[in-house]
Structure 1
């Protein structure tokens, strides 16, 4: 049964395969494409595939808005976004209900990304209560407050993290620490499962995730509209969840910072 779900749900397969897909250049200059199954998938791969800061922010707002429609109960949501998390800061988050999570802080300095996979061998709880060497050691001073942020640490002040990325406002790429990953694991820091919808940014990927997670049909056209940040109307909302109205979503729209609908749509 689980193999059928695995191959039917491209969100579970495509990111891992794409992250393992490498393009090398032959001596004659031609591209040689192949899948390197002997290489682990890590934060290094994710850093190469994350979008720009603005595109990541838009995607995170879209994910949060879709989840708000599908799951009126905030505690049951997978993806959230708070456009007023702190003064001058916004935060996107993911919680899978099984102990895996990420937090993405958008600030004037840029973006800080923290991911935690509870089964990762790089968890601080399997490393004498210390973050895995290299994961946060090179985080620039401008982002260090987020490393020590109480919301991202446990009651003993230990950063709850197995993967970390950052990107300054003027950076042209995502950055990460220099890490000696544990051997023998295909996904040592948990990044494949944590960031799959940030790597595979297609509406089809969310459709597959949501149909699997919420066990309801999800209209691909509606997902595409929300991914494009088009203002909501009642027809669109009802297509995803007939029990939710635009009025019900008013607070969520404000919290997420999603484009507001025309008041006549209420």
Structure 2
């Protein structure tokens, strides 16, 4: 977590805001007639919003800092009469940053642990639903529409349409929404996909529920996918080809583009 480390200009602006806050009732309406005045006000607003976000983030981790003391510290420092020596200020700020890192780490570990528990319960419940098959690895799938013919190998390049959601239904990715199917080597994605898509034939559409250890595990994929998240995918297999066929096709397309370029 990055703590707010204000510049001299920022300190001055916050100090002015702090001084004026105590005299709100006496304040005249703000004057913003010139571009420079507007820039000054915008800078102060930006700093205030940024500082507020920092304070709110700290509060979510259980640390509340007294805003009146923050402003008093700024005012005293600018007046050259800080109640704390510079060496102690540096030590205190280092301790604050360390405390925030520790609290953030503890919160992350707690959330990851809770996600594991919720994921296990979700998987157990889903496994009991009609039509759901559970493989030896723990991957769960349900056939929405079966395809025909051969099935891809792990080394093949597949072309799919898909939608990915979290346990609560939040969508984190969708080729349908982009209206653009995607091609990729099947052994270059998460284990749940590599295993699951090999069960499909062209034209098939499956629902996959993928345990976190077959997805992104304890690292997750921030910010969309949290740690230890169970993922749901709707996957439609449009086509597949061997890696050699894909490479040859790419080379042919590249040569075609070069020839088209020379023609002009």
TM-score (normalised: structure 1)? 0.23
Q: Which one has a larger percent helix, Structure 1 or Structure 2?
A: 2
TM-score (normalised: structure 2)? 0.23
By relative contact order (CA 8 Å, sep 6+), the higher-ranking structure is: 1
